[in-house]
Structure 1
Amino acid sequence: MVSTTAPAKRECSVFFPWFALVSFQILALFHFHYFQGVLVVYTIAVLCFGGYVFYLKRKMNANKEKSEKKESTTTTDVGAAENQ
């Protein structure tokens, strides 16, 4: 049977904070020399956290799709076995 539901939308909204923080970091390095170390550590921490959140979202979506696919194949297999 063909599914009529729309495919799940991918969450890729983590890119904007990365871009904004890196842009701010580059500007801050040239203007605020005494904040360099703090901003570098802060930016690296935020980028790592954003990457981890993005990874968790993708992993959760993949697991959900995998379980949905597994459910659909098991129901089809059970129906085929009963008909024989």
Structure 2
Amino acid sequence: MRIADRIARLERAGDADPRMTAAEIDAAADRYEAELQQDGVPGGGTTASAVAAWRGMVEQTGEAWLQRIYAGMTPADLYA
């Protein structure tokens, strides 16, 4: 399969993937916050500021598939 065909197929699949709902983002934020409280904030700072930065990144990303990847990241992944 040519690379152009692969890219086109990925774009079509991405179009079918809906953005996360507010409830899904809230649930992911709760998980992210719990991990921060358990393991600490990488690089220092407060849990609230780390969750706010994470939430902003998830909500503002333009691609639904990328939004889901960001939402599934752990603090250690994000700060690596």
Tell me whether the two structures share a fold, i.e. TM-score over 0.5. Answer: no
Greater CA radius of gyration, 1 or 2?
1
The structure with higher relative contact order (CA 8 Å, sep 6+) is 2
Q: Specify which structure has the higher proportion of helix.
A: 1
Instruction: Give TM-score, length-normalised by structure 2.
Output: 0.32
